[in-house]
Structure 1
Amino acid sequence: MTDFKLNCVVVDDEPMALQLVESYVTKTPFLQLQKSCSNAIEAMNYVSEHPVDVLFLDIQMPDLTGIELSKMIPKKTKVIFTTAFDQYALEGFKVDALDYLLKPFDYSEFLVAANKAKDWFNLVKKSEENRNIVQGQEVTTKEFLFVKSEYKQLKIKLDDVLYFEGLKDYIKIWLKNEPKPILTLMSLKSLENELPESDFMRVHRSFIVSLKNIDVIERSQIIINQQRITVSEQYKSKFFEFINNNSL
């Protein structure tokens, strides 16, 4: 069972068929009837302005058919066709319909189709939650890097990094409370791809700075631990956008 309700719209030009599907939606706990429409044009106007999860859609209607409407709605809105003509089944599935209900159908048949919608949206929701968890882990667990230096793998805590300085094929890693940098064979470009964007920013061809460890910004210069680093023209826009977003 979903822990949310699916917003539904019912579309049918036959009043009795429309009322029947309305009653089925109303008695199904995980469905929420948003609107009933007696033609596809009315439904098209509504769906274009409101978020709709499931469209229970008749196919054979005047002016605009259900098949034609299904090609015009947002992809996130899923369609369950309801029709008295089984020759439309193949065409219905070609437009990625979730299911196809052949009139007359009873509540048990309707519920099978509705459950397909429920399973679909539960799967989408679970996928989004998993993606958010993974993204959160990427942000929160990126607390250190291992770098090669003097034939050893050194663990560098990112919180301790003041800035990275590029020197041809090498990088100097300047750390808090350390008078000498760590030297490692790596390019700034490859390092940039490994760093969390929320904490580090490239401000010069030769420098990536720790945003949280900036002491002073003076015109186009950053001061970190008494070291002045110029923000080059190429990186000014992004850097000062960050500053403006974090200024009082």
Structure 2
Amino acid sequence: MINCVIIDDEPLAREGLASYVRTVDFLNLSGVCENPLELLPLIDRGAADLIFLDIQMPKMNGIEFLKILQKPPMVIVTTAYPSFALEGFQLNVLDYLLKPITFERFFKAAAKAKDYHKLLTGNPAKQAEDYFFIKCASKYEKIFFDDILYIEGMQNYVMIYSTKGKYMTMLSLKSLEEKLPEGNFIRAHKSFLAAIVKIDGIEGGELFIGNSRIPISRSYREKVIERVVSKRLWDNR
């Protein structure tokens, strides 16, 4: 989790960024400040890994503030003025967001901060290739491959059933299948993909995963039995 602080003298700008931060599961909003001087106590107690910093503010602008910090946290500049971009990057800011800031642009910058934070902390947690993000309504959801139970295709949408819940997103089943780790999932039906290690049993024309029953079409049955059962079947005949 990355503790982040928003510094902006405009109330609407602070509220907008705060709502974005609360939407991203790897960000924790640890402070909201009207001017840079309010940040110093948060830095002293280690509550600021990442700063979303406005430039044009009363008392002290963001660039001046960065120049006086000896060991600044990660910084993403948020401003309506593109003229400060060069100076900002010379001060090693991670990214430079021009207002009005879309969520897509915000999320891209936040993901960059996450990757850099992982390098700084040596975090041995699950690596980037272990998960992906999908857009569900207005929220971006992180899905770990290991948590997926099965996936159901519904015209232009898919429903992903996982150990954490179910998620609907606007993707085709075919395009999602092409992105999944090879060998970990099997198609049991034109509308269903199943995680092989999550399959509890097979009977007749159905797969059992927990309390769920997934149909197996005739055209896929032989391949399903071969992939799921044959190599691990203990037969006393």
TM-score, normalisation: structure 1: 0.47
Which structure has the larger Rg over C-alpha atoms? Answer: 1
TM-score, normalisation: structure 2: 0.50
